[in-house]
Structure 1
């Protein structure tokens, strides 16, 4: 009898484990289906038909008790759209601002060169704007004068303008464009090299790499100063982003390979951001980057940040770890299918917090006023 009871208990436990496994697999399957076919937006549209506004208790703007306009007065309707500048749009619909280079091409009227030219006069002009792309590379030829002293017959040559890299035959404008194209617009050097060849300019790819490396060294003091200024912030936001990075070629003819690595963007409270790189996403790199920081660290729920903060606080650094509401909200949003009532209640509360932040942005309150407002309305 005891053996039969134990067998039944084991079966019940096995059924419970299998049931939990089926539930977990079903949740994963639902998630994958949603990623492929469903709505990916996490935006919730609250139903406010039966509840008051979050800001009903706020002081209202004074009402205007002035007399209505007379019937013969037409009130001016204020447009919600931004007023366009005269240079924003033309007859062809092209929009551009003052930062775009412009070249005016004069087109004379044929009547002014005809037999009856004396019967015409220019009274105005009309512009037709077309977007053009001219050659991207220009060779600057500094033609330096060589002078000879008439009496002593000595020769003197005018000095060439100084360059940002000594002995480099690339202008500073090209060096800046080379780095911006690679870092901002993700244009690899081999494509930039091909574009140079197609334009008739012969520069080896190793030379481009050398210019990039020297340009990085020139920018390093600026990066270090910005990094230190970010660490002086009271609040930091930190994350890790996967990226493929090239590995150097091995011995002999072994080609290099792309390997998974990570960028670590860090955002300060003065609207500054800096990136660091590491081959992995362990807490060691986070600890190294956060040394010297004291304040609030805002991250997602990745446990490496929790361990990093614990280690740094053990070294007497005062860091308060805060989690991101967007990541927290995502878990409740995924739970809507299984616990709709409880999950929706949590989403509604988070939506109120979002509404408070939106209100603060619109009012443009300073940090102290924002803190007082949050303490009053976020509880």
Structure 2
């Protein structure tokens, strides 16, 4: 091989080595690009996932902002209430169903046009002070007036509301004693002493009015006992904390038999609205507050309310025990505990449209079109109720009106729910709202069967509000016994509110009369309950008129 050939071969080998190196380098770059692409896909997926989380958090923030600063009314109102429309495009309705729904909508709109009145802004007028308040007159005369040359005209009177400090007094019970005259000796003398009136709490200096006011300050005005003790000190009265707690326990114990009688009446009423709310309880073992639950049962027709506490439990076993022998209607939200009564003989569960409406109201920011449509349909159902109220219909007439107007709307709305659910994200707010509403639609639609049934559970929720206000002030119950006492007293308070009874008047009446039932078992404790107290006072007022 010549020198030129060797040189050429050497060049070829060097070029080969260079190409090998270049090839390896390119392969490394390709592998890097592939790794980069995989990382890009992974990062893109992470970004997409985080975007979804951000959207969800934005919705939660918007919902919380509406709850804190938005309007409190849940009623959905269009910019122009007279221009509501039922859009049935795309709904798979039978022709007769569509016609019934359209006819119902037209009748509802016609009623609203008649009912809507132009609101004029009234000039604010100061309300006069109550006539039953005592008046103390303070006369002021002009200076330098000679009555011989001046004649007095009708004076100008201005009333100013004033207040004296709370007045406490001691009622001294003086029991007079008598003995027969001309007895042989004092030892043989016959002595008669006036009977001692029965006090609410034996061997206690607390009268019925003081016990009533302490209870009212605690459960109506939401003043913790330590604040009340400070208020007593301002009046020069020192009451130990243990004493005031004992009084509260005694009052609850006095109410307990009447509370059990109230429970019997509520469960015998045949139509109950049920709900639950939280109440903080001190757990002495964990040395912290834990969330407990208190149940609320509202007998709709007799206007009775019962709060039930069972060691803070919200479990199904509590409902099973509470409604063990109950026969009738149970109206509630979508809490799964009540599902067991769907197939129980003699029990008819019905739903609450206010809870369904609330779900769609929360979904407005996420899917305004669907949420607005749903709220319009629910609003039409409430329009039917307003029409029935306006016309003061009987139960039978209300049921007929619902069958004619509300039922066709519900038929169309149910089919819309079925059609729209596959189009939305199941975990989104609109998806959850549609799923919730459809899952209990059979319960929601049953209210139209009887004019006695309410469209929602709002009145039951109103009965719970004092507890919500109370836990923001007295913060917690010290133990299960305290929570049970609260349930008893809140039951009586709610019954008073439902029957337009002054809670203080009823408490004084109750404390002064409860011991009359201690030994006379022929008397019915129901006579002491607020609704019967109202009947007695109304009858007494009628007799004296």
Q: Which range is displaced more, 177-186 or 369-378?
A: 177-186
Secondary structure at 2:291 match in 1:
strand
Query: Any conservation in 1 of the 2:108–2:380 contact (CA below 8 Å)?
Result: no
Deviation of 1:332 after TM superposition, in Å, equals: 2.1
Contact 1:164 1:172 survives alignment (8 Å): yes
| 1:64-122 Cα deviation digits (max 9, x unpaired) | xxxxxxxxxxxxxxx998xx9xxx944xxxx3364xxx3333546779xx9979x9999
Q: Distance in 1 between matches of 2:161 and 2:314?
A: 49
- Which moved further from structure 2: 220-229 or 352-361? 220-229
Note closer, same or farther for the CA distance 1:235–1:20 as it changes in structure 2 (3 Å cut).
Answer: farther
Matched, 1:29 2:55: no
What is the distance in 2 between the residues matched to 1:241 and 1:350?
Answer: 25
Matched, 1:212 2:245: no
List, as ranges, runs of 4+ consecutive aligned residues in structure 1 with deviation greater than 6 Å: 11-18, 108-111, 114-117, 119-125
* 2:319 alignment partner in structure 1: 286
2:296 touches 2:308 (CA, 8 Å); kept in 1?
A: yes
Return 122-131 or 292-301, whichever deviates more.
122-131
Q: Give me the whole-angstrom Cα distance separating, in 2, the residues matched to 1:123 and 1:144.
A: 53
Say whether 1:273 aligns with 2:305. Answer: yes
Q: Is the 8 A contact 2:279 2:291 kept in 1?
A: yes
Residue of structure 2 aligned with 1:264, choices 295, 319, 328? 295
Checking the alignment, whether the CA contact within 8 Å between 2:108 and 2:405 is kept in structure 1 is no
Contact 1:54 1:352 (8 Å CA) reproduced: no
1:252-307 per-residue CA deviation (whole Å, 9 max, x = no partner) reads xx9x643211121111212221111231322222222222222222222222232x
Aligned ranges 1:317-336 → 2 under 5 Å: 317-336=345-364
Aligned-pair CA distance for 1:356: 0.6
Per-residue deviation, 1:354: 0.8
2:6 paired residue number: none
Match of 1:349 in 2: 377
Partner Cα separation in structure 2 for residue 109 and residue 348 of structure 1:
62
2:21 matched to which residue of 1? Answer: none
Q: CA offset at residue 22 of structure 1?
A: 4.8
Q: Which moved more, 1:149-158 or 1:129-138?
A: 149-158
Does 2:108 correspond to 1:55? yes
Given that residues 293 and 317 in structure 1 are in contact (C-alpha distance below 8 angstroms), is that contact kept between their aligned partners in structure 2?
A: no
Offset at residue 368 of structure 1 (A): 1.5
Q: Look up the SS of the partner of 1:259 in the other structure.
A: strand
Given that 2:277 and 2:295 are in contact with CA atoms closer than 8 Å, whether structure 1 keeps it comes out as yes
Q: Secondary structure at the match of 2:278?
A: strand
Whether contact under 8 Å (2:270, 2:328) holds in the other structure is: yes
SS at match of 2:221: coil
| Bigger relative contact order, structure 1 or 2 (CA pairs below 8 A, ≥6 apart) | 2
The residue correspondences of 1:350-369 to structure 2 (distance < 5 A) are 350-369=378-397
1:181–1:187: 8 Å Cα contact kept in structure 2? yes
The TM-score with structure 1 as length reference comes to: 0.71
Residue of structure 2 equivalent to 1:223: 259
Q: Tell me the secondary structure at the aligned position of residue 55 of structure 1.
A: helix
Q: 1:21 to 1:213 in 2, by over 3 A?
A: same
Gaps of 5+ in 2: 1-36, 86-104, 115-119, 409-545
Q: Following the alignment from structure 2 to structure 1, what is the Cα–Cα distance between the partners of residues 109 and 290? A: 55
Residue 169 of structure 2 aligns to a residue whose secondary structure is: coil
Higher helix share: 2
The aligned length equals 331
**Equivalent runs, 1:1-379 vs 2, <5 Å:** 22-23=51-52, 26-36=55-65, 39=70, 41=72, 42-46=74-78, 47=80, 48-49=82-83, 51=85, 54-55=107-108, 89-90=127-128, 95-96=129-130, 98=132, 102-107=133-138, 126=157, 128-145=159-176, 151-152=182-183, 158-247=194-283, 257-270=288-301, 271-278=303-310, 279-306=312-339, 308-309=340-341, 313=343, 316-378=344-406, 379=408
User: C-alpha separation between the residues in 2 aligned to 1:226 and 1:331?
Assistant: 34
Q: CA deviation at 1:377?
A: 0.7
| Cα separation, partners in 2 of 1:23 and 1:326, compared to 1, 3 Å | farther
> What TM-score results when the alignment is normalised by the length of structure 2?
0.51
Q: Using the TM superposition, give the Cα deviation of residue 244 of structure 1 relative to its aligned residue in structure 2, in angstroms.
A: 1.1
> 1:320, 1:274 → 2: CA distance?
20
The verdict on how the C-alpha distance between 1:202 and 1:240 changes in structure 2, with shifts beyond 3 A counting, is same
